Amino acid sequence: MHGFSYKNGELYCENVSLQSLAEEYGTPLYVYSAGTITDHYTRLDKALSGVNHEVAYAVKANSNLSVLRLLATKGAGFDIVSGGELFRVIKAGGDPAHCTFAGVGKTREEIIYALEQGIYSFNVESEEELRYLNEVAKELGKIAPAAVRVNPNVDAKTHKYISTGKSENKFGVDFEAIASLYDRAATELPNIKLRGLQMHIGSQLTSIDPFIEAVEKVIPLVTALKAKHGIEFWSIGGGIGIVYQDSLQSGTPDWWASKNESDRPLTIEKYGQELVPRLKDLGLKILLEPGRYIVGNAGVLVTRCLYEKKGSAKTFKIVDAGMNDLIRPALYEGHHEIVPLTEPTDGLTAKVDVVGPICESGDFFCQDRELPVFNPGDHIALMSAGAYGFVMASNYNSRRLPAEILVEDDDATVIRRRQDLEDLIEGEL
């Protein structure tokens, strides 16, 4: 559920009108609901009660300092994938000792920085990386805490670009090779502390079945590693999906109640009910690495319709946001529900393409979609844009990055100002 709904004919974020924000701050404009972020974090943390655990937010989903600060105040740990993300976490008041560093291509500079800051663990993706980590730690006279990422070869049945747990994906070490790798590391790599095991099978999973399959497959392995090498944690990854198709409606309990259990997307309560009994007796700290689940439905991208272009084959609604602002539809056909900021009352719809101003045919937010009628000058919201939205934005076509707003009840705060033209060339000679 989330904090976006129509009130008195206008779309609101919590208790703030999105139309008022668009008029005051301009568009394109990202708007986030603080209450939704904290609610999702709290519910996930509660769902894992009964297990020694930590919720480590995946910073790559939305790395704005104010979002990180909000989660840090709630006690979240952080899953990072670059030295820059670690820097952000520290600037936001997060504790490096509650950070795990993932990613297949960590550089020497990043490793040194993370060791100096005292992170909890490096999540290592290959034997070569583990050996290099040992080498750098030895040079610094430090012991590097590490967990190897196991690839359990479980098909998460998600989009191929966000599948990570199959043997053909670039992530992790083959399941069958993990035990021998830990044996070699224990005897050959004196500057490595084998602190845990990590896995992650993919993103945007809306069924519990792949999670159960992966956990049950890896339990014997993690149990053996604990007995032989004394590991203390098991990171079971993230990947819990959110509602994109009916995003606005899913903000209410009634929408969830109206669904048959077989048709209902995976709830965090169901996730906890199925996994906690399988994890609670392992004697290991369980790390969870959610990103999209925490912030995805907590944000929208507000944009204004500039023109309507009617051709012989299509009707295009041209808006002032582009693929540089939100690339998911162009990158992997990501769906975002599109709703007017003024609540439709006449029931009129039209089949349209909503496109941006970028000089690319891939610059679209939807194609041939039946939408409520809106006209030039009207504002619309692209729902479920809180994750992998602004963080993937760019200055392509020399377009300025949009502003970001965080709403807390009645208050709206600018948490990133819109770039000006001078910002576009900062650093260039």
What string of DSSP letters covers 283-328? -SEEEE--SHHHHGGGEEEEEEEEEEEE-SS-EEEEES--TTT--H
Distance CA 59, CA 157 (A): 24
Query: Looking at residues 41-60, what average pLDDT do you find?
Result: 96
Q: How far apart are the first and last CA of the chain?
A: 47
Please list, in sequence order, all residues whose beta carbon lies within 8 angstroms of the beta carbon of residue 411, skipping any fewer than 6 positions away.
Answer: 16
Which residues are marked as active site?
359
Contact 258, 203 (CB under 8 A): no
Query: Looking at residues 93-120, what average pLDDT do you find?
Result: 97
pLDDT > 50? residue 161 = no
Average pLDDT, the chain: 94
Binding residues for pyridoxal 5'-phosphate: 239, 289-292, 388
Structural domains of the chain, with CATH: 4-29+297-424 (2.40.37.10), 34-293 (3.20.20.10)
Torsion of CA 79, 52, 204, 397, to 10 degrees: -20
CA atoms within 13 A on the CB side of 253: 0
Query: Looking at residues 25-54, what average pLDDT do you find?
Result: 97
Tell me the per-residue pLDDT of 310-328, one tens digit each, with 9 for 90 and over.
Answer: 988 899 999 999 999 999 9
Distance CA 355, CA 320 (A): 9
pLDDT > 50? residue 165 = no
Distance CA 360, CA 396 (A): 11
Count of helices and strands (H, E) across the chain: 13, 21
Q: In this predicted structure, what is the pLDDT of residue 312?
A: 87
Residues across the chain = 429
> Could you tell me the pLDDT band of residue 164, with boundaries at 50, 70 and 90?
very low
Distance CA 165, CA 182 (A): 20
pLDDT > 50? residue 166 = no
Q: What is the largest CA-CA distance in the chain?
A: 72
Q: In this predicted structure, what is the pLDDT of residue 162?
A: 41
Torsion of CA 21, 23, 26, 29, to 10 degrees: 30
Binding residues for substrate: 292, 328, 332, 360, 388
> Could you tell me the pLDDT band of residue 51, with boundaries at 50, 70 and 90?
very high
pLDDT > 70? residue 156 = no
Q: In this predicted structure, what is the pLDDT of residue 339?
A: 98
Distance CA 10, CA 342 (A): 5
Q: In this predicted structure, what is the pLDDT of residue 379?
A: 98
Distance CA 36, CA 4 (A): 9
Distance CA 218, CA 234 (A): 10
**CA 380 remoteness from chain centre:** 23
The token pair that represents 427 in the structure block: 């650093």
Weakest mean pLDDT among 109-113, 263-267, 284-288 = 263-267
pLDDT > 70? residue 362 = yes
Distance CA 385, CA 366 (A): 14
Tell me the per-residue pLDDT of 229-283, one tens digit each, with 9 for 90 and over.
Answer: 999 999 999 989 999 999 999 998 888 888 887 778 888 999 999 999 999 999 9
Weakest mean pLDDT among 209-213, 293-297, 371-375 = 209-213
Contact 172, 199 (CB under 8 A): yes
pLDDT > 60? residue 168 = no
Q: In this predicted structure, what is the pLDDT of residue 257?
A: 86
pLDDT > 90? residue 359 = yes
Determine the 3-state secondary structure of 416 from DSSP: strand
Q: Which residue's entry shows tokens 């729902």?
A: 383
Its pTM stands at 0.94
Q: In this predicted structure, what is the pLDDT of residue 172?
A: 83
Contact 152, 211 (CB under 8 A): no
